[in-house]
Copies of this chain bind each other. A is one copy, B any other.
Amino acid sequence: MSRAIPRPIYFFEETDGRDRALLGGKGAGLAEMTKLGLPVPPGFIITTDICEKFYEAGKHMPDGLMDEVRKSIKKLEGMTGKSFGGAENPLLVSVRSGAAVSMPGMMDTILNLGLNDETVEGLGKSTDARFAWDSYRRFVQMFGKIVLGVDDRQFEKAMAGANMNDEKALRKVAGAFKSLYEKGGKKFPADPYKQIELAIDAVFRSWSGKRSTEFRRQYGITPDMANGTAVAVVAMVFGNMGADSATGVVFTRDPVTGDKKLYGDYLTNAQGEDVISGKASPSHIDQMEKELPSAFKQLIQVCEKLENHFRECQHVEITVERGNLYVLQTRTAKMSAVASVKTSVDMYHEGLIGRTEALQRIDPEGLEQALYPRIESGRHRPIAAGVPASPGAASGIAVFDASRAETLAKHGNRVILVMKELRPDDVSAFRLCSGILTSRGGKTSHPIVVARGMGRPCVASCTQIEIDSEGKRFSIDGRVAVAEGQTITIDGSTGRVFLGEVPTAKSEITSEFKEILQWASEMKVIKIRANADTPENAALARKYGAEGVGLCRTEWMFNQHERRALFARMVMAESDAEREKALSDLELLQRSDFKAIFKEMQGLPVTIRLLDPPLHEFLPKEEDLMMQIFELKSEGGPKAEKGMLEREKMLRRVHELSEINPMLGHRGIRVGITFPEIYEMQVRAICEAAAELAKEGVRVEPQVMVPQVGMVNELVTARHMFESVKREVEHRHKVKLKMMFGSMIEVVRSCLLADEIAHVVDFLSFGTNDLTQATFSFSREDAEGKFLPFYLEKHILAANPFQTLDQKGVGRLMAMTVESARKVKKDMEVGICGEHGGDPRSIEFCARIGLDYVSASSHRIPIAILAAAQSAIRGSRVGGLSRFLAD
């Protein structure tokens, strides 16, 4: 929008709401409402340009500004028929701040400006003496506090005990207030023009005050988004003129549920600050229909007009002065995710907005709220806070041992499992627990990834709590806080931990939600697959609209007790025969796992990742073994002796397999190459499952994916094995299998060699968790509990790269990979299966660089679908999904 050379001051009726940067949000709203013919008190706006000039001049009022203000006040006098500083029927104004971006409560506002010992009498005459003196003492107090920095507590003290309904008492209070100025060496300015000059100066200054600077830093509001505040000078209307007056705040629809009915509070005979201060209890807005029927009728009309005009739910400030409604401010209402979905769909059906607009209004990230149980109110104080590792809230008794947790849960208890850190062995208990709390380990430890996959709320890396597993309790700051059996509540969406049971609200998939998802599915371009390791997860994902499984982690299948034992047997095998037996037992189990998942995903692709974690993860912990050996030693006897020897053998193997940096060790294809029998077993299980189902007529499309690939020769070796096993199974079953062989791209080197890799594979899938770790050289687990929060706070990093894809670094590697792989194979399927696959901003990036699909955890499929649709809408706006350029 090209803009004429701006004037320093605009009256509301001289402009409209389009130039928020110049007028500020509040000013723009007032101008727009004036244009709509709504009952807005008259007034004018000093632009943000003037504020910029104020700062350019070293916090001095720009030359000539006050002349303009004087002229504008004169005009306002003409419009209201009142006189500024007049002894009769004086004009009072409010001086309000308002930047381009909403910064609620961060800057200053002064009401009732224009009062002094003379005008207060005039006001008293034209209205009511008690009201006039009440207004006066309010003004003296507010002006002293905000403009001249007089300590507010002194005012509170000075009016303590005074009868505020008595004019005389109020006169005394006003006098006492003024003498407080003098005590502080200050002077109350009687001249209203001096008052307004100081007030404007104060509002400008509040832009660079500590509170608002901090707010902008915290919310990332940069100068190009808002650079200074505008000042609105508005003729006062009074909600405190008696029982037919009121002040209130109204939402045009319910911001929690989205229901189409007014929502809000009002307070009769009061000014705005009384509502905010919470000194009085306001009434629900519905009451107004009875109490102030005419004003309420006006309100209904105003709200309708506002919604029809802005086509979004509005958050409106009103004042009723002697039965007449005035609107003092309007802004787009902040809605809960549920409400935002409902109002968007409703407004579509009301014909207010189109589907595209409806879709774009919803914050996909906020949808998590709608999908998981949440803490209902903010009143409860947490006892500790950790990393929000798996969303949702849950209450239950604290239990400090996985198997005990299982037992207690089986007996009908709701259980929160509290552990220092989690081992894969603990995973089988998760299904029975309501939630998980750990003092170590970040969001990406494998067990927590499982918890997230299962939808179990989890707070991780809560370092404030010191867990005493043996003592079955945890302490905070050295004092015991919670013992086994005590109820706690955790909120995995925020990372907070509460004592006792805090009420939680259930999740719900509303009909509006379903409708939105339907639209989104139709509009999106990139496909959405699910990370699903179990048939249940696969079924959930499909219900939500997933178009395949993008990541099935075979090792989670080992995590049930029996399977783990089998796997441990394989790792510990002393003879080939023993190892082969363990492997063939595992193969049978895996085959049935795969069959079940394939059946659920019939007709859709299922990408299976071969074994990824290091082998030692399947053996008991060193400490546990040592403890057992110690116990058996003191027990004695031949049986104990035997158990001891067995455990000592296992301990040696644990030592052999132990690693200094497990993330950088012997895992993935590196295990697949050195112990080829494991991958061969897994590929055979997949082929067998596919072959058996193919014979039953079930359409299956398995994609076998190799993790941790860094060298082309690793893939050559694996592909060779894959083809030979597949041929053998095809031959035996006399079927032709439709399968693909691909590589994860999660090692930096594989990005750099993508062209060579492309020759060997049918598809690629980014593992952006590991890739991010390798690109930054820090692990999520070690970073999130330590320096990462600090980095985010200090803006060294704009976002947590494990949550939102780092486009400059990791993203550049990804773009390079896609480009060089598709140079070799034009239609190479490329997807992403890291946790970024469920992050809206990351999904947009993935769409932009031309990925075929993102794979998100089953519970985040709706979020991913919505984000994909939004990304497609934005993409088509900027001229199609044009190929992303790295620089």
Using CB atoms and an 8 Å cutoff, list the residues of chain A in contact with chain B: 440-441, 463, 656, 659-666, 670-671, 673-674, 708, 710-711, 713-714, 717, 746-749, 752-753, 770, 773-779, 781-783, 786-787, 790-791, 794-797, 806, 808-810, 812-813
Contacts and interface: CB of A to CB of B under 8 A. Distances in A.
A775 B809 CA distance: 13
A781 B661 contact: yes
B752 A809 contact: yes
11 contacts: A664-B778, A665-B783, A674-B786, A711-B796, A711-B797, A714-B796, A748-B774, A748-B776, A749-B776, A752-B809, A753-B809
Contacts of A781: 660-661
A786 B655 CA distance: 12
A678 to B, nearest CB: 13
A708 B777 CA distance: 8
Contacts of A665: 778-779, 782-783, 786
Given A747-B775, A749-B806, 5 more contacts: A660-B662, A663-B777, A711-B796, A713-B797, A774-B777
Contact of A710 (B713, B752, B777, B813): B777
Copies of the protein in its oligomer: 2
A785 B516 CA distance: 55
Contact of A664 (B661, B670, B711, B746): B661
Contacts of A790: 673-674
Contacts of A752: 775, 808-809, 812-813
Contact of A777 (B664, B713, B794): B664
A662 B664 contact: no
B463 A661 contact: no
Contacts of A663: 660-661, 664, 777
A675 to B, nearest CB: 10
Contact of A660 (B441, B463, B753, B810): B441
A134 B665 CA distance: 62
Given A777-B770, A790-B674, A782 B463 contact: no
A423 to B, nearest CB: 12
Which 4 A-B residue pairings sit nearest by Cβ, starting from the closest? A665-B782, A749-B809, A664-B779, A713-B796
A659 B813 CA distance: 27
A659 B442 CA distance: 11
Nearest to A659: B782
A874 to B, nearest CB: 25
Nearest to A441: B660
A808 B749 CA distance: 8
Nearest to A778: B664
A663 to B, nearest CB: 5
Nearest to A463: B656
A40 to B, nearest CB: 45
Given A714-B796, A748-B809, A787 B656 contact: no
Given A663-B664, A782-B664, A775 B749 contact: yes
Q: Which of A665, A770, A797 has the most chain B CB atoms inside 10 A of its CB? A: A665
Contact of A748 (B777, B782, B808): B777
Contacts of A674: 786-787, 790
A385 B52 CA distance: 74
Contacts of A671: 787
A671 B783 CA distance: 11
A623 to B, nearest CB: 11
A675 B283 CA distance: 52
Given A674-B790, A752-B812, A790-B674, A777 B746 contact: yes
Contacts of A441: 660
A795 B713 contact: yes
Nearest to A770: B777
A666 B782 contact: yes
Nearest to A886: B752
A779 B662 CA distance: 9
B770 A747 contact: no
Contact of A786 (B666, B777, B791): B666
A796 B670 CA distance: 11
Contacts of A463: 656
Contacts of A795: 713
Contacts of A753: 808-809
Contact of A787 (B440, B661, B666): B666
A775 B746 CA distance: 10
